[in-house]
Amino acid sequence: MKILAISDTHRKISRVETIVKKHGGFDAVFHMGDHLADAEAIGRLPGMEGVQIEAVRGNCDGAMKPDECTKIVEAGGFKFMLTHGHPYGVDYDLTHLYYAAREAGVDMVLFGHTHRAFYDKGGDVQILNPGSISSPRDGSRGTYAVINTEGRALECATFEWDGPGDIPRRGKARGGFLRRTFNDSDGQ
């Protein structure tokens, strides 16, 4: 079974169609939140008919507790835990996430939220964050992962976007009390 793992698309899925054409033949898509509607839209892309779509809600989808943004999925003979990750404190360390995954008895836990790709295949639970294809925060042009479950082996590869287009940039910060305060204090 071939699985596309993505997260934090934030309503920008134009690159996913190129990824589908490049790698082709996906049996499933795991989307780790922000935005849940993007997972549904990906399922409607050309070449994705009949593909299993599994998605969880993220903090931008209104999920705040682990049970609102976490699900267990079985695919290709393996057990996966999908979560956005923010209730597990993934911005700080992965300890809480690891123990939750271990307690759930999964082979791999996938998370998002940080917009930074991460993969650790050591230990009894593999840990994967595919990063963000549309809003990376790791200096990349955007990242995603492909998981393969052939031959009772769980293998994963992360990829950096190599298609056309500039590195996605965040817009200029909008106002707020602190910004106005700092701007006023330095004469700007």
Residue-wise DSSP of 123-155: SSSEEEEE--SSS-SSSSS-EEEEEE-GGG--E
* Whether the predicted pLDDT of 172 surpasses 70: no
Question: pLDDT tens, 12-60?
Answer: 898 998 999 899 789 999 999 998 899 999 999 988 889 999 999 999 9
Q: By residue range, what is the domain housing residue 51?
A: 2-185
More confident residue, 177 or 105: 105
Q: pLDDT-derived band of residue 123, with 50, 70 and 90 as boundaries?
A: confident
E-only strand ranges, 43-106: 52-55, 70-75, 78-83
Pairing of strands 108-110, 117-120: unpaired
Write the CATH number for 77. 3.60.21.10
Domains identified in the chain, total number: 1
What is the average pLDDT across 160-171? 68
Question: pLDDT tens, 62-98?
Answer: 888 888 899 999 999 999 999 999 999 999 999 999 9
